[in-house]
Structure 1
């Protein structure tokens, strides 16, 4: 079978879905399938397939902005306008690529799912996998409440139609299935297929951990998660600060990168916990870190079915996690791990104290976690279920109905937004890259991107000779800045709000 996997973010990436897609691709190829990947390139300027086909999405987006700015901004809030320009340019870029010859297309987010449904041949089966539920996440983080009623309508219908665009929808847990049904997605379209893990990196090298010299004699607590607000790091830092007041027998490793780094470091210093916490940044040795740790913690405010917990169970380590989303479908509280309420630093401190004090409990929870992982999370179980889903989708063998206005703006979304005049104020975001990075500009053209908090690219600007940039017509809100200069990192910035 010739299969096209599609993912909005560039690949390789460091988040859970990217790790999953990489594993899926390798396993499908080992089984004899031909697999290509469609995604952004690393600079977020082009859409590419397997580094063989490329479409200049940035150029297409600039043309669409020039073409539609007046007609959109007269009717819709600026945030909807920028989201639409991104979705529409993604779709136009996909249309420039040759999708013929694929037996099946498997998208891994609602953005590419919708774009593919409006661009592919009606006879090519389409599966949409959802690895997260952004609509719910925005409610947890408070972003939803900061939006206008029309923007809230858009958030819901965009994700709903992205899911409904597939012939079938694959989700990793029952929690997400139920959430989608409540949103209106047809229940018979949804298939629950829990993730699987290649176990060897976590089950091998079980020799005694070689802890760093400065941590000798201390228990290692590992938190492997992106540094974004929804992962709940601040509550873990508060819990560690509480423990630090009366003990010095632990050290916490925060493994991950993200725009919250500076904020979390400031909080760590403020609470006097800096000597007990290390921020490791982006890591490629998570299996070794897990094998070297004593406790694994994931304090998420929202999560769907985090792969890192399956990895932690294969590493036979006790896991302490917040009871968010589908996590309780991975961990049975008190049997093979521990659960606490989200955003509860006191509960985190209490359970961490218990795990630090009682080696027998740590060993027992770790053993039972490994037993569950072997029984449920081996990659072979997942792949068998997924291949059955592929065959089911192909066997349906019925052309899907072309989506309305598939060569123009997505009216199926826009027509469900209440009519009205745009009344929000646009702001300018101007700045320049730090002086110590300017010598990296050289002759190569570099860009800077502004994303909303859900990770959707809103605008792209070329950096000036001195590293200056300026974005126009941004609505009030918080954004993330990234650049084609990798050392620029991620920065969270607030526009139009004190």
Structure 2
């Protein structure tokens, strides 16, 4: 048996989930056949506690760096990562998000890993001049880059600092649809567990309560419609630093009893079918996996027309609104709220059909496998 290709997948934080339907790092592990690839998963921060899941990679490594160790020059962290990679002699390193990419860009001047792949999940990572200057000087033929949407790929190309059409691709995020649907509770049970009345028309979303998610605009838009549509109710699953502001806004707008901030829920996807309308009023997104999760529940979608999400909304037959535009969001909510239950269900089925056609996890896996295989073949080809 020939020696397996040795791959390091480097992530900033331990964040392995018991269900990996939307854990794209784990999906990349699944993409690489075990008979040909030996995979090590490494995490710069954090580690699992007793009983928590671990990566399905052949082996996991937890550096447990502190936040101060990963700021500034990061000399201690860089030295430890260098020694580790040098001892392991990896053939491929896959870096998730900016910090691991940045560290390997610097270290690979000495490590000479044959293939490095950097995955970008959003915008602004190369907004600072010194970061663009550094990337321009360090990106060489060993590097390939992935944007998680065509919009993120275009952002990288527009930075003009070493990202090119030859070394940069878009591999659109996806979810394991079958696994996601298998986790979802029936509508009545999901509502019972959330404490939501079975008779209301429920709209809302799931995600971190942070300003960039735009939840405050959703509350303001809903407040304009609450008296016109007395059966409508809004719910948000998630927690975060924005919660006090959102609670104050509920009081200010007189939305008590009509808005439910449900807090953190383990395996939140199981409650998707409690909703009738799925919303994502984000001010910015790299892709927005929560939008795909809503589609997996056969729900019609309303979301902000940020570049990464607009093609998804249009493909799903959803309603796109300018980010932060309360008037447009109010109008979109009203467009759906005035539909009959059957018409809403038809919109949801269209979204689900689009998800299956365009964001299937098997296609995602095949694209990563092809990227690794073809890049190694190119790099091994005589110049």
Same fold (TM over 0.5): yes
Matched residue of 2:84: which SS?
coil
Cα distance in 1 for residues equivalent to 2:306 and 2:278: 16
Partner residue in 2 for 1:376: 358
Q: Which of these two proteins has the greater Rg computed from alpha carbons?
A: 1
TM-score (norm 1): 0.64
Give the SS at the match of 2:313: coil
Maintained 8 Å contact 1:163/1:169: no
Question: Residue 150 of structure 2 aligns with which residue?
Answer: 174
Q: Which of 186, 203, 206 is the aligned partner of 1:224?
A: 206
248 and 168 in structure 1: CA distance in 2 versus 1, 3 angstrom threshold: same
Deviation, structure 1 residue 51: 7.8
Aligned pair 1:117/2:105, yes or no?
Answer: yes
1:94 equivalent to 2:84? Answer: no
Q: Which moved more, 1:225-234 or 1:207-216?
A: 207-216
User: Aligned runs of 1:74-473 on 2, under 5 Å?
Assistant: 83-85=71-73, 87-99=74-86, 100-120=88-108, 121-135=111-125, 152-154=128-130, 157=133, 167-184=143-160, 185-204=163-182, 207-210=186-189, 211-212=191-192, 213-332=195-314, 336-358=317-339, 359-397=341-379
Secondary structure of 1:234's match?
helix
Shift of 1:6: 1.1
Asked whether the 8 Å contact 2:279–2:301 carries over to 1, the reply is: yes
**Structure 1 residues 201, 57: CA separation in 2 closer, same or farther (over 3 Å shift)?**
closer
Aligned length: 359
Cα shift at 1:165:
9.3
Cα pair distance change 1:270/1:169, threshold 3 Å:
same
Instruction: Output one character per residue of 1:155-205: Cα deviation in whole Å (capped at 9) or x when no partner.
Output: 655677798796110112221122211111222211111122111244346
Deviations 1:293-329 (A, max 9, x none): 1111000111121112222222211010010121122
Maintained 8 Å contact 1:113/1:165? no
Which shifted more, 252-261 or 363-372? 252-261
Tell me if structure 2 keeps the 8 A contact 1:313–1:319: yes
Q: In the aligned structure 1, how far is the partner of 2:67 from the partner of 2:244?
A: 34
Q: Is the 8 A contact 2:10 2:43 kept in 1?
A: yes
Q: 1:119: how far off? A: 2.5
Assess, with a 3 A threshold, how the Cα gap between structure 1 residues 386 and 56 changes in structure 2: closer, same or farther.
Answer: closer
**CA distance in 2 between partners of 1:108 and 1:248 (Å):** 45
> CA RMSD of the aligned region, Å?
3.4
Q: 5+ unaligned residues in a row in structure 1: which ranges?
A: 62-81, 139-151, 400-498
> Residue 123 of structure 1 contacts residue 398 of structure 1 at CA under 8 Å; is this kept in 2?
no
Kept in 2: contact 1:231–1:301 (CA 8 A): yes
User: What is the distance in 2 between the residues matched to 1:370 and 1:284?
Assistant: 24
Q: Say if 1:107 and 1:343 are closer, same or farther in 2 by CA, change over 3 A.
A: same
Q: CA deviation at 1:258?
A: 2.1
Q: CA deviation at 1:59?
A: 10
Residue 128 of structure 1 and its aligned partner are, at CA, apart by: 0.4
1:25 matched to which residue of 2? 29
What is the CA-CA distance between 1:236 and the residue it aligns to? 0.7
Cα deviation for residue 285 of structure 1 reads: 2.5
Q: Which runs of 5+ in 2 are unaligned?
A: 49-54
Contact 2:97–2:121 (8 Å) recurs in 1:
yes
Shift of 1:41: 3.3
Q: Scaled by the length of structure 2, what TM-score is found? A: 0.82
In the alignment, the residues of structure 2 paired with residue 298 and residue 285 of structure 1 have an alpha-carbon distance, to the nearest angstrom, of 19
Taking a change above 3 Å as real, the CA distance of residues 58 and 373 of structure 1, as seen in their structure-2 partners, is: closer
